Amino acid sequence: MDLNDLISQLEAWFQTHMVELAISAAIVLLYFISRRLILSLINRHATKNSFDKSRTLYVKKMTSIVNFIVFAALLGFTWEVSLSGLSFYFASIFTVVGVALFANWSILSNMTASVILFFFFPYRIGSRIRIQDGDNSVEGLILDITMFYIEIETENSDIVSFPNNLAMQKASILLKDKAEADTDTKKEDSSQ
């Protein structure tokens, strides 16, 4: 096989796969555009709500992974990658992972909840809150909101880690600081 044969085979391959190459280029371009757009929306939301940088970083990582998986699947679909051979490996991996994580299903729900809390949790680090959970209610100052839990410092300086998925399910109350409450009481007294 000489160089001319190799070049002619490459030309033939490019001619037969021109549509797939064009679609692939468009998918890669859309991936980078969507990634940049999503990251800028997250940055804008984090800046607007004064979120902690580490919290913003968690959400960026999660959304980047999901974005990559979606666009990788689109590329696989474009090139008609057969999953029949891979399905055996995926089934084996999912079986092992499913058994290993069966008792720890809350890991995924906490990670998903952290992304939802990033966009829709009305409180931020430094807020005083009470999470109503019957006998397990927690009241205190939010120290950190991580990928798996909300870290709250109680009045007696205990640090409680409250899972993100439970924080979404339970009622939470924003508490005023004692100084704020005293100021509001004085304003009400002076207005009367």
Q: Which of 25, 60, 77 is the last residue of a domain?
A: 77
Phi, psi of 141 (to 5 degrees): -95, 130
> Looking at the structure, do residues 14 and 59 belong to the same domain, yes or no?
yes
> Looking at the structure, do residues 8 and 68 belong to the same domain, yes or no?
yes
In a domain, 83, yes or no: no
> Looking at the structure, do residues 140 and 70 belong to the same domain, yes or no?
no
- Could you give the CA distance from residue 33 to residue 137 in angstroms, rounded to a whole number? 44
- Per-residue pLDDT, averaged over 138-164, amounts to 92
Q: Which of 55, 77, 99 is the last residue of a domain?
A: 77
Q: How many domains does the chain have?
A: 2
pLDDT of residue 104: 59
Higher pLDDT, 124 or 90: 124
In a domain, 62, yes or no: yes
Residue 126 in tokens = 């430094």
23 Cβ contact list (under 8 Å, min separation 6): 78
Structural domain that includes position 151: 109-191
pLDDT at 100 over 90: no
In a domain, 89, yes or no: no
In a domain, 141, yes or no: yes
User: CA 125, 128, 131 angle in degrees (round to 5)?
Assistant: 100
With pLDDT > 70 as the criterion, what percentage of the chain qualifies? Answer: 80
With pLDDT > 90 as the criterion, what percentage of the chain qualifies? Answer: 33
In a domain, 121, yes or no: yes
Higher pLDDT, 16 or 186: 16
In a domain, 153, yes or no: yes
Sheet order of strands, 138-145 included:
159-163, 149-153, 138-145, 128-132, 171-175
**CA-closest candidate to residue 118, choices 157, 62, 187:** 62
- Per-residue pLDDT, averaged over 114-123, amounts to 84
> Looking at the structure, do residues 57 and 117 belong to the same domain, yes or no?
no
> Looking at the structure, do residues 113 and 73 belong to the same domain, yes or no?
no
> Looking at the structure, do residues 123 and 183 belong to the same domain, yes or no?
yes
Asked whether the whole model's pTM tops 0.75, one would answer no
pLDDT class for 182, splitting at 50, 70, 90? low
In a domain, 100, yes or no: no
pLDDT at 186 over 60: no
In a domain, 98, yes or no: no
pLDDT digit string, tens, across residues 33-90: 999 999 999 999 999 988 888 889 989 998 999 899 889 888 888 887 766 666 666 6
> Looking at the structure, do residues 116 and 68 belong to the same domain, yes or no?
no
- Per-residue pLDDT, averaged over 125-131, amounts to 92
> Looking at the structure, do residues 113 and 184 belong to the same domain, yes or no?
yes
